[in-house]
C-alpha cells in the first residue's frame, strides 16, 4: 500500500510544526539565553545579563509552575504555597548545616553533610507528607475562598514555627553560611555560572514532569474538574481524590525550588514562607497565563525583570509593579500567553484593537459567533424550467 506524497509531506510538516511549537523546546531556549539577557538595561548601556537574576528566574519558574498546577489547572487558589517552598528550603539547610535541639526531652542531633541528593529527597518527602496530611483535612471540606483562607492560615503556622523556634531554625535571622554541595570534588557549584546551569537542568527536568502530568489522562480530568466539578462527578470521577492528588503534586515542585534556593542563597530565613512569596507566585501565574504550561515560566521571568529594572529607576518600585500588574490583568486577563494566542488567531492589528477597545472586542466576538452568510447565486435562484 502506497501513501500519497502530499499526505507524507503534510504529516512531516505537521510533526515539524508541532516540534517547533513544543513548550518544552521554548522553555529550553529561554533557559539557554537567560544568563546573557536577564537584568540587562540597554538604555543605560548595559547589554549583558546577570547570572544571579537568571538563577532566581528559573527557580521561581518552577515554584510558580507547581503552584499553577493547582491554580490554573484545577481552579483552586492557594495563598499558602510558600509553606512548601520554605519546608524544602529549611529541610535542605538543616540537613546541610546540621542541628542540635531538644524536642519533648529528646536530644536530636545531626552533623554537617553535603549530599545534595539526600537533601532533595528529604525536602520533597517532608513537603509531600505535610501536603498530604493537609489535603486530607482541607480539600474535601472546602473550596473557593474558604480553601484559599485555610491554606493561608496553615502557611502562617509554618511561618511562625520558623520564626519562633530559634533553637532549630535560627529564628528571625534564619540560617547562614550554608555550604554548597561538592559532588564532583572540584568545587564546580561554587561558581555562579555553573550553579545556574545546575539549577536550569534540575528545573527543566522537573518541568518535563509537570508537562507530562498536564498532558496525561490525569491532567485531562483536572481540566474537567476546573471547568465543571458537578459534571465531572456525574461522569464517575472521584473529584475530591483528584483534588487531593493535585494538591500533593503541586507541593512537590515548590519544595524542589526551595532546595535549589537554599544552595543558591547559601542562607534561608522565615521570609521565604511569608504571604509575600505566596502572593508573588500568584502574580507570576496571572502575568504569564494561568491556564497554560509556559505562562508561569514567562511570568516569573517578566516579574523579576520588571523588579530589577524598575527598582533602578525609583525606590517605589513595588507600587509601580502593582500598577503594571493591575493594568495588565484588566487589559489582558489571559496573560502573556493569551496575548500571543490572540495575535496568532486574529493578527496583530485586530488583537491590539480587541485589547484596548470594548466595541472592537464585541464586534469581533459577534462575528465569530454568527454563522457564515451564504448568498444565493444566480444559478441557485434560477427557477427550474
Would you say residue 152 has pLDDT above 60? Answer: yes
Q: State phi, psi for 25 to the nearest 5 degrees.
A: -65, -45
Read off the DSSP letter of residue 334.
T
CA dihedral (82, 84, 89, 90) in degrees, to 10, reads 110
347 lies in some domain? no
User: Per-residue pLDDT averaged across 190-206, rounded?
Assistant: 93
CATH number at residue 289: 1.10.3470
**For residue 206, what pLDDT band results from cuts at 50, 70 and 90?**
very high
CB 159 within 8 Å of CB 270:
yes
> Is residue 283 assigned to a domain?
yes
Residue 79 lies in a domain: yes
Summarize pLDDT for 312-351 with one digit per residue, the tens: 888 888 888 888 888 877 877 788 888 888 777 777 777 7
For the chain, the domain total comes to: 1
Q: CA neighbours within 13 Å on the CB side: how many for 62?
A: 31
- Per the domain annotation, does 224 fall within a domain? yes
Place of cell 548595559: 46
237-252 pLDDT, tens digit per residue, is: 999 999 999 999 999 9
Q: Which domain covers residue 322, as residue numbers? A: 26-331
- pLDDT band at 155; cut points 50, 70, 90: very high
pTM equals 0.87
Q: Is residue 200 part of a domain?
A: yes
The answer to whether position 68 is within a domain reads: yes
**Residue 38 has what pLDDT?**
83
What pLDDT is recorded for position 377? 46
pLDDT at 78 over 70: yes
Q: Is residue 11 part of a domain?
A: no
pLDDT at 373: 46
Q: Is residue 204 part of a domain?
A: yes
Question: Sign of dihedral through CA atoms 105, 111, 116, 117?
Answer: negative
Amino acid at each position: 500500500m502506497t501513501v500519497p506524497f502530499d499526505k507524507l509531506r503534510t504529516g512531516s510538516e505537521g510533526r515539524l510544526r508541532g516540534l517547533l511549537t513544543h513548550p518544552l523546546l521554548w522553555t529550553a531556549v529561554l533557559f539557554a539565553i537567560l544568563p546573557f539577557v536577564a537584568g540587562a538595561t540597554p538604555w543605560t548601556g548595559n547589554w549583558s545579563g546577570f547570572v544571579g537574576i537568571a538563577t532566581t528566574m528559573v527557580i521561581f519558574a518552577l515554584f510558580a509552575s507547581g503552584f499553577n498546577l493547582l491554580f490554573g489547572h484545577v481552579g483552586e487558589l492557594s495563598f499558602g504555597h510558600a509553606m512548601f517552598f520554605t519546608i524544602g528550603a529549611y529541610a535542605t539547610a538543616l540537613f546541610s548545616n546540621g542541628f542540635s535541639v531538644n524536642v519533648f526531652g529528646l536530644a536530636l542531633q545531626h552533623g554537617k553533610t553535603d549530599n545534595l541528593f539526600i537533601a532533595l529527597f528529604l525536602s520533597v518527602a517532608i513537603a509531600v507528607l505535610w501536603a498530604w496530611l493537609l489535603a486530607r483535612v482541607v480539600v474535601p471540606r472546602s473550596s473557593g475562598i474558604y480553601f484559599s483562607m485555610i491554606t493561608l492560615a496553615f502557611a502562617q503556622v509554618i511561618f511562625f514555627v520558623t520564626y519562633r523556634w530559634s533553637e532549630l531554625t535560627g529564628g528571625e535571622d534564619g540560617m547562614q553560611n550554608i555550604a554548597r554541595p561538592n559532588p564532583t570534588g572540584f568545587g564546580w557549584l561554587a561558581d555562579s555560572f555553573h550553579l545556574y546551569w545546575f539549577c536550569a537542568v534540575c528545573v527543566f527536568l522537573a518541568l518535563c514532569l509537570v508537562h507530562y502530568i498536564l498532558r496525561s489522562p490525569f491532567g485531562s480530568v483536572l481540566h474537567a474538574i476546573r471547568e465543571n466539578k458537578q459534571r465531572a462527578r456525574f461522569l464517575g470521577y472521584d473529584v475530591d481524590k483528584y483534588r487531593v492528588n493535585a494538591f500533593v503534586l503541586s507541593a512537590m515542585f515548590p519544595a524542589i525550588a526551595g532546595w535549589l534556593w537554599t544552595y543558591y542563597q547559601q542562607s534561608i530565613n522565615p521570609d521565604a514562607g511569608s504571604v509575600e512569596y505566596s502572593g508573588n507566585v500568584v502574580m507570576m501565574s496571572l502575568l504569564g497565563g494561568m491556564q497554560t504550561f509556559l505562562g508561569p515560566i514567562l511570568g516569573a521571568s517578566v516579574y523579576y525583570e520588571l523588579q530589577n529594572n524598575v527598582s533602578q529607576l525609583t525606590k517605589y518600585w513595588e507600587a509601580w509593579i502593582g500598577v503594571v500588574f493591575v493594568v495588565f490583568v484588566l487589559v489582558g486577563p489571559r496573560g502573556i500567553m493569551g496575548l500571543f494566542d490572540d495575535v496568532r488567531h486574529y493578527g496583530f492589528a485586530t488583537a491590539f484593537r480587541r485589547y484596548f477597545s470594548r466595541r472592537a472586542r464585541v464586534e469581533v466576538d459577534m462575528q465569530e459567533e454568527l454563522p457564515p452568510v451564504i448568498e444565493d447565486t444566480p444559478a441557485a435562484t434560477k427557477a427550474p424550467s
